[in-house]
Amino acid sequence: MRYSCESAKEDYDSDNSNPIKCKGIFEINSIEEENFSPKSQIKNDKLDNNLKEESSIQLNLSNYNLLYPIVDSSFNYAGNYENYVTNVLSSIIMLDLKIEQKEKEESNKETLRNKIKNILNDSNKQILLLDLDETLIHADFEGIFKNLNNYDTIINFNDENNNYSVGIFLRPGIYDFLNTLKDKFDIFIYTASTKEYANSVVKFLDPENQIFKMTFYRKNCININGQIYIKDLSIFDNLEKIVIVDNSLYSFMCHLSNGILINSFYGDKSDIELYSVLNYLISFVSNCDDIRKMNEQFFNFKGIMNEIKKNMENNQKLK
């Protein structure tokens, strides 16, 4: 997350009438392919390799030119926020994505919408969607920390073929975060992971079923060429009441103004990002009329994207 709550508040208070620009930070230079690290290739993590569960909505991008590589969310680390945001937004522009969904998918969506309505039961709270991996927890599928014996827990789950036992790091502040927010928001988990894995993590985090209203999985995401999983916020009515916290900007690329981008978490015990997000949610989001406007004032993703677009067009004209 770019702003600590304090700096965000200062900026917000100093000029309440105008949207906050990311002052001087997002100086958009010409977007050259070299700006992307050669390492910015999507990597299929072990989970993806081991547990294939395709999302219900799949798009074939054979008609699109994938001129730019997809930027991996491991590049969303503290200190690299601006680079990450600029590169992802640039790649989204290059994708020029138009999502067309088929009738069948629309009817699935309708079923999901009705289910959500029943669960919410006329609640007028705002809705908080939380990503799981590298946002709330890190699962050590690679076993990198296995010998250090410092996991917060080990979860076990199985799919039809295999049993898994995976060490989990909880992001510092996770229980403060969830317990403070559960009275102010209706909270859902929205993960691009598989159902079996996600359910076992959710059960550990919320054994009494007191925090999360429901979990959405990979099958509820829009899958682009097996590379990007987009979380489909249009399954909710009233987008002005929806906020998603995720470590990947692609997750909410279709609803940029609904998203809070948090740095990726890989087990750092000194991480304080959840506290920053908690402060922002409590101070600014929980009582606002339209979360999208508030987020735009703070994070300005759409504004940045427009700047990049303009810059690209100008560069094009100069050629």
User: Which positions lie near Mg ion, rule CB under 5 A?
Assistant: 131, 133-134, 247
Residue type, 26: F
Kindly state the smallest distance separating residue 246's Cβ from Mg ion, in Å: 6
**Residue (of 187, 89, 101, 61) closest to 136 by Cα position:** 187
Kindly state the smallest distance separating residue 80's Cβ from Mg ion, in Å: 16
Q: Which is nearer to Mg ion, 259 or 307 (CB)?
A: 259
Q: Which is nearer to Mg ion, 20 or 233 (CB)?
A: 233
The 3-state secondary structure of 207-226, one letter per residue: CCCCCEEEEECHHHEEEECC
Kindly state the smallest distance separating residue 39's Cβ from Mg ion, in Å: 18
Kindly state the smallest distance separating residue 134's Cβ from Mg ion, in Å: 4
Q: Which is nearer to Mg ion, 276 or 297 (CB)?
A: 276
Token pair, residue 191, equals: 């993960």
Q: Which is nearer to Mg ion, 128 or 308 (CB)?
A: 128
Q: Which is nearer to Mg ion, 131 or 232 (CB)?
A: 131
Q: Is the dihedral of CA 303, 304, 305, 309 positive or negative?
A: positive
Q: Which is nearer to Mg ion, 131 or 307 (CB)?
A: 131
Kindly state the smallest distance separating residue 175's Cβ from Mg ion, in Å: 19
Kindly state the smallest distance separating residue 186's Cβ from Mg ion, in Å: 21
Query: If you search the block for the tokens 């987020």, which residue do you land on?
Result: 295
Q: Give the DSSP letter string of 93-151.
A: HHHT------HHHHHHHHHHHHHHHHHHTT--SEEEEE--BTTTEEE-TT-TTGGGT--
Query: If you search the block for the tokens 């250090």, which residue do you land on?
Result: 148
Kindly state the smallest distance separating residue 97's Cβ from Mg ion, in Å: 20
Q: Which is nearer to Mg ion, 113 or 219 (CB)?
A: 219
CA atoms of 49 and 28, how far apart (whole Å):
36
CA atoms of 294 and 252, how far apart (whole Å):
16
Q: Count the Cβ atoms, other than its own, within 10 Å of residue 269.
A: 10
- Give Cα separations from 222 to 71, 117, 120, 181, 183 (angstroms): 17, 21, 23, 27, 30
The separation between the first and the last C-alpha atoms of the chain, rounded to the nearest angstrom, is 36
